[in-house]
Amino acid sequence: MFSSVLIVCTGNICRSPMAERIMKQYFPEKKIRSAGLMAMVNQPADDTAVIVSGRHCVSLEGHKGTQFRSSMAGEFGLILVMENSHLEQISEMVPHARGKIMLLGHWSEHREIPDPYRKSQEAFESVYQLIDQACQRWAQKFTA
């Protein structure tokens, strides 16, 4: 069992902030953070991500983009990523962490979660649903 989770995407303003806040609802007792491999450092969550998440009663208030650093691999028991390319990038940066890096969608039929950045509200809604489904599956696996 893991006590801390780092959720990683590209810019840390769309997918990983949504996943971080959703995952916190399922695992309120765990340390859950997010970061980006090419983070928009100190930027708030994307406006459309804020709107779509808000419709689902998930607040992205206070989020600030954070750059993934290799030292983070030692701080978290599980690292969840959105795409296989993220898994590979982190594995190259921190080879010893490979065993604790998994796709957020690992337990879902949609394993990779596409980037909605600069796309329509409908695209963000679709991605939100994929993230929520993936987080639900993690909760089912670890609270059963």
Active site residues: 9, 15, 115
Rounded CA separation 45/40 (Å): 9
Rounded-to-integer distance, Cα 85 and Cα 42, Å: 23
User: Which residues lie across from 22 on neighbouring strands?
Assistant: none
Question: 18: closest CA among 40, 45, 47?
Answer: 45
Write the burial class of residue 8 (CB in 10 Å: 0-12 exposed, 13-18 middle, 19+ buried): buried
